[in-house]
Amino acid sequence: MSLRDENKFRAAQRFLRHRIQPFTTTEALFDSGIQAALILLPNHLHFGAAKQALERGLHVFCEKPLTNTVADALTLKSFAQKTGRVLMTDFNQRYLDRNRVLKAMVADNRAGQLLSVHAFHNQDLRGLKSFAALHRDLTGGGVIHNAGIHFINLFLHWFGAAERVSAIFENRALPVECGEDTAHCRFTFRSGLTATLDASLANAADTSYERIQFLGTDGEITSDLKKGEILFQPRGKRKLKIPCATKIISDSVFAALSVFEQCARQSLQPETDADDFIRTLKVVEALTLSAQRGTEVSLNEIESKYAI
């Protein structure tokens, strides 16, 4: 553990079941003989720390976003390929049983052919004493880059590649330095399916925290993240509760860490690897560009930008 504040370190140690050794510098930590590094730093420090760890031959588990730019993510991917190390992004929601069950229901056409999908993320950060930690020069962006990115990652996992996107970004309460605090996004996938995402850090989205709705020819599937439940309303029949393990966000993080350990020990590639993150961040970039232009953006434009 890298030591930046001794008092905070001692306070944290009291809640840990194992003794941990503090280090005064990141270099000392990475050169201490460890085999893997968990990058839990503020977003703008992810790239530098992950690059250092990979250069020293360590496996890397990094909180999302892996980097704040696609270019930096491509650089880290190159380092991971050269060293043969595991590089995993903590898209922890991918490891929730709820979301795995939803993927299976989509694959099995449980609601028939999907007609549309609607996702919602809502937080209220208006009461913070300071917004300095939310400035986009530190975080990389606004609500889509920092919260909506989870749904975007799930969309790509569930529905495949996006073809084009459009977005409207707003600042309803937070300073513009924080990036957009509220966003309405629309996605068209190569399959023809359309999806929307309404996300807000200013309590502007119509949801308690996070929920999703799948509308199909044979029924409707709805799910609430905090309740950890899945409800299926077949057309013309009574509503059913679909079994799934009730987990909270911290459970999904531990599940992701367990996958990372297995991949590092067995030299396996995790689901949420560098390529998975790069695909997701390209969609975020396309949405940002759409909001700036006021027009729909094709993912082909973004792919062409980074073509080798």
Looking at residue 247, its pLDDT comes to 79
The ranges assigned to domains in the chain are 6-91+253-273, 93-247+281-305
- Residue closest to 233 by CA, chosen among 206, 215, 208, 207: 215
- Residue closest to 162 by CA, chosen among 284, 12, 29, 33: 284
Whole-number Å distance between alpha carbons of 46 and 38: 10
Whole-number Å distance between alpha carbons of 200 and 180: 8
- Residue closest to 290 by CA, chosen among 151, 142, 173, 187: 187
Q: Which amino acid is at 147?
A: A
Query: What is the band of 203 on the pLDDT scale with cuts at 50, 70, 90?
Result: very high
Percent of the chain past pLDDT 70, that is, above it, reads 97
- Whether 174 has a pLDDT exceeding 60, the answer reads yes
Whole-number Å distance between alpha carbons of 108 and 74: 34
The pTM assigned to this predicted structure is: 0.94
For 99, residues 6+ apart whose C-beta sits below 8 A from its C-beta are 93, 154
pLDDT in tens, 11-54: 777 776 667 777 878 888 888 899 999 999 999 999 999 999 99
Looking at residue 165, its pLDDT comes to 98
User: Is 66 exposed, middle or buried (CB count within 10 Å of its CB: 0-12, 13-18, 19+)?
Assistant: buried
| Average pLDDT for the chain | 93
**What average pLDDT does the segment 160-182 reach?**
97
- Whether 5 has a pLDDT exceeding 80, the answer reads no
Looking at residue 4, its pLDDT comes to 60
Instruction: Decide if 6-91+253-273 and 93-247+281-305 have a common fold.
Output: no
| Range in 1-10, 225-234, 270-279 the model is least confident about | 1-10
**What average pLDDT does the segment 217-244 reach?**
94
- Whether 2 has a pLDDT exceeding 60, the answer reads no
| Range in 88-97, 200-209, 257-266 the model is least confident about | 200-209
Locate 294 and state its tokens.
């006021």
User: Is 122 exposed, middle or buried (CB count within 10 Å of its CB: 0-12, 13-18, 19+)?
Assistant: buried
Phi and psi (nearest 5°) for 290?
A: -60, -45
- Whether 148 has a pLDDT exceeding 90, the answer reads yes
**Domain 93-247+281-305 sits in CATH 3.90.420.10:** no
User: Is 21 exposed, middle or buried (CB count within 10 Å of its CB: 0-12, 13-18, 19+)?
Assistant: exposed
**What average pLDDT does the segment 157-172 reach?**
98
C-beta separation of 114 from 88 below 8 A:
no
Burial 184-202 (b: 16+ CB within 10 A, else e): bbbbbbeeebebebbbbbb
Upstream peptide bond of 65 is cis (omega within 30 degrees of 0) = yes
**What average pLDDT does the segment 275-294 reach?**
98
Q: What angle do CA 297, 286, 176 make, to 5 degrees?
A: 115
What CATH number is given for 6-91+253-273 in this structure? 3.40.50.720
C-beta separation of 147 from 201 below 8 A:
yes
Looking at residue 26, its pLDDT comes to 85
